[in-house]
Structure 1
Amino acid sequence: MTQPIRRDFFTDRNGGTRIEIFDELSDTAKAALYAFFRRTGAPHLMDEVVLPLFCDGDSQIFAAVRDRPWPPWGLGARNIVAVLQTHLVSDGCWGLSPVHVADEDLTNVGLCAALYKEALETLAVDPGAEVHYLIGEDSRLADLAMRRVGFERTEDVFLTEAARYLTYRAPANELLVSLGLAGTDTIDVIAGAIDDDVYERNAAFHGTVYLGSRAEWVVDRVSVASEIARLVRGGHYNKPASVPTGTGRFERDAIAEVAQGVREFLTEAEQDELLAYVLGRESEFSP
């Protein structure tokens, strides 16, 4: 049974909003996206993040759109008011951007939740699909927000110049349920026809993801640590040497390191002489 619509500050504004999914981008769609990111104060995101991810393939752009009354086609017909991008990280694992909105919609919870719901439902067509985020190792707020909606922290590591991140993962279909968005109609979510608990849960989640990620795209310095970092394709699965897959912990093999140093420093004859010397005095060694 559909819940009666509870009006809020954004009900009228969201009334004429629809959600469009971009699998390819026409010139007019690109123009609308460029205009949107310019209004958010981060115009560089289109060229530095959105388009590179999109052109790599296995990426979709979900946009909340308000159409021009007439004519509803051609350049300038789409007024994009929110954007969410998904991209494949590894088989069945997806990275999701924050729901980008302009300043006037920063507290428009229904809009953010509806766009996120559409993205999750698209991913959940694959029953094994997972959503992944990178959270700073010592995070408190983001860690709490993620775990409260069902994310599991793993030890898969991602390193930047500024910080160390761990992977948080949740099945897409379970995330729909934990956010209270399963079985609801997107139109109702946009209009605010969700109870206070679901409203608050989505507000806390999207607000944390947006604010925790903001430093990464606003501050033009790679040395600045953002509490939530952007995932790259396969990035947290291809670890440096001596980091076991699935642990994220750097473990040193002292014997291997000494052996490599010996090989680089001594000739083969000297190595044989050293080995014979060590083996001949094995009983004299102690831990």
Structure 2
Amino acid sequence: MSKIGQGAVIHPMAVVEDGAVIGANVKIGPFCHVGPKVTLGDGCELLSNVVVTGRTTIGRNARIHACAVIGGDPQSIHHAGEETTLSIGDNCTMREGVTMNTGTAEGGGKTVVGSNNLFLANSHVAHDCQLGDNIILSNNVMLAGHVKVEDRVILGGGSAVHQFTRIGRQAFVGGLSAVSYDVIPYGMLNGNPGVLGGLNVVGMTRAGIERSVIHQVRRAFKQIFEGEASARVNAAAIRDEYLDCPPVIEILDFIAADSDRALSSPFRGKS
């Protein structure tokens, strides 16, 4: 039997299967379908024709618009019906036609989405993706499997991200871009193939980063990508110079981390 929280309103033409957990003050509109292993946090609203299925947990105050399918099986030929999960944080908005899949057994079994994220119409989060907080996926953005997107990233409309790619915190990806390689924190990538055109200075300024710090990050960017050696070698060589500049150290740590993908650069598209 389902657990229905106080003040929840379920339209008579919606289906909530036995076993679902529905929080307080949840609103479920007509023609919605909530599966038996779903948990909806307090204050969630499913407008109409929404499917939430799989072993899916959604935090407080989500707002999900028509024709979204949340928690569907992973679109992977390796998926053999194992029970995997999708976890979504608080205060997320999913506009029309958004799709999010559960994980795969081989990928760890978990798709994880943070809080305060905005997913515009027809954007897609594939199996085993790991998303942080305060992210915007614009219309028709496609994240392939195992993608990692850090906090405050913005992806422009129609952009596509290759599987296993990482996008660093507060990066900006332009519309219709093809993201085939890792994008550094604070980076700005555009084009197909995607080219790292510089830094997301507007985003850094809006985040309250001081101009003097932005100048340091710009100088480090040039040293990393215009030096004589590879970007990774250049990044390691300048670390001691920037120990008092956390945004630069964040970029250097990102570059030094293990990854399945190459690094986006301003020149050949990868480094």
Q: TM-score range by the shorter chain?
A: under 0.3
The TM-score with structure 2 as length reference comes to 0.22
Larger fraction in strand: 2
Greater share of residues in helix: 1
From the CA coordinates, give the structure whose radius of gyration is larger: 1
